[in-house]
């Protein structure tokens, strides 16, 4: 059986919620009742035909959000390629290739 390591604070995670939306965010804390995340974003098409990241809540800019476990279908560490793009889009960090 393959054992998985716990997701570390500061990691980029993908969260699937009961509405079907997939949210990409930085994990701040895994609490008793849910996940506390920052910079929650969703993947959306851009005008050039590619994909980009947009804030999950367009009308608000909260520093941190809590997703209750009752609203979460699944969550996991985001694949490296997308996590790198998320980091570049939400910070001053540019990932070296």
Q: Are 40 and 57 in contact (CB under 8 A)?
A: yes
**What are phi and psi for residue 52, nearest 5 degrees?**
-145, 175
Supply the DSSP string of 38-84, one letter for each residue: EEEEEEEE-TTSSEEEEES-TT---SEEEEEGGGEEEEEEPPHHHHH
- Token pair recorded at residue 5: 């390591």
What CATH number did the domain enclosing 38 receive?
A: 2.30.30
Is 72 part of any domain?
Answer: no
Print the domain residue range for 17. 1-60+79-97
Please give the tally of structural domains in the chain.
Answer: 1
Is 71 part of any domain?
Answer: no
Is 70 part of any domain?
Answer: no
Would you give per-residue pLDDT tens digits along the chain (97 residues)?
A: 565 678 999 999 999 999 999 999 999 999 899 999 999 999 888 888 888 888 898 887 778 999 999 999 999 999 999 999 899 988 876 766 6
């Amino acid at each position: 059986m393959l054992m998985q390591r716990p997701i570390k604070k500061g990691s980029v995670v993908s969260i699937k919620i009961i509405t079907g939306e997939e949210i990409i965010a930085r994990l701040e804390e895994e609490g008793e009742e849910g996940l506390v995340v920052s910079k929650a974003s969703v993947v959306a098409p851009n005008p050039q035909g590619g994909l980009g990241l947009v804030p999950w809540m367009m009308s608000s800019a909260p520093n941190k959000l809590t997703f209750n476990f009752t609203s979460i279908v699944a969550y996991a560490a985001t694949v490296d390629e997308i996590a790198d793009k998320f980091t570049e889009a939400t910070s001053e960090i540019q990932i070296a290739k």
